[in-house]
């Protein structure tokens, strides 16, 4: 079994992986890989957006994590918002069904600095049976 939690720090996911013995379902230990449209010219942005969305989709299809937790916050450059129109990422996420929200002050490093709030919401998705 494996899991995926969108996070901006290696501390949370690597600690959870070690503690639970579950594999972290991505080559990327934190969400630093999301390309920002403000930091690249349009051609480079489109190239890296396609590439990184493909890599993340490949990770979800390869590791098949039972649980995927994605940040739901409009003040962050999140995976869900960044790859909302990325075909391969959306195809990979089609194997998951939304379950519930999880709100925590502990799971995301530095959230208060960005949002002014100590809590962050993650949307929890569970892999569909048999997929």
**pTM of this prediction exceeds 0.85:** yes
Residue 11 scores a pLDDT above 80: no
Greater confidence, 19 or 10? 19
Percent of the chain, pLDDT > 90?
A: 62
pLDDT value of position 107: 66
pLDDT value of position 96: 98
Collect contacts of 98-106 with beta carbons under 8 A, ≥24 apart.
98/123, 98/124, 98/125, 99/124, 99/125, 99/126, 100/124, 101/72, 102/69
- Read off the pLDDT of residues 26-46 as tens digits, 9 standing for 90 and up: 988 777 778 888 889 999 999
Which residue is listed with tokens 């990770």?
A: 59
pLDDT value of position 108: 64
- Read off the pLDDT of residues 72-128 as tens digits, 9 standing for 90 and up: 988 778 899 999 999 999 999 999 999 999 998 766 666 666 667 778 899 999 999
């Amino acid at each position: 079994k494996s899991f995926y939690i969108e996070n901006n720090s290696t501390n949370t996911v690597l600690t959870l992986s070690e503690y639970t013995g579950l594999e972290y379902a991505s080559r990327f230990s934190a969400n630093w890989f999301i390309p920002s449209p403000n930091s690249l010219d349009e051609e480079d942005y489109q190239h890296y957006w396609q590439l990184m969305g493909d890599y993340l989709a490949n990770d979800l299809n390869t590791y098949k994590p039972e649980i995927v937790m994605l940040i739901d916050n409009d003040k962050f450059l999140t995976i869900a918002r960044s790859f909302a129109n990325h075909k391969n990422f959306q195809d990979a996420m089609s194997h998951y069904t939304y379950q519930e929200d999880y709100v925590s002050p502990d799971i995301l490093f530095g959230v208060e600095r960005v949002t002014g709030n100590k809590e962050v919401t993650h949307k929890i998705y569970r892999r569909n049976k048999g997929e």
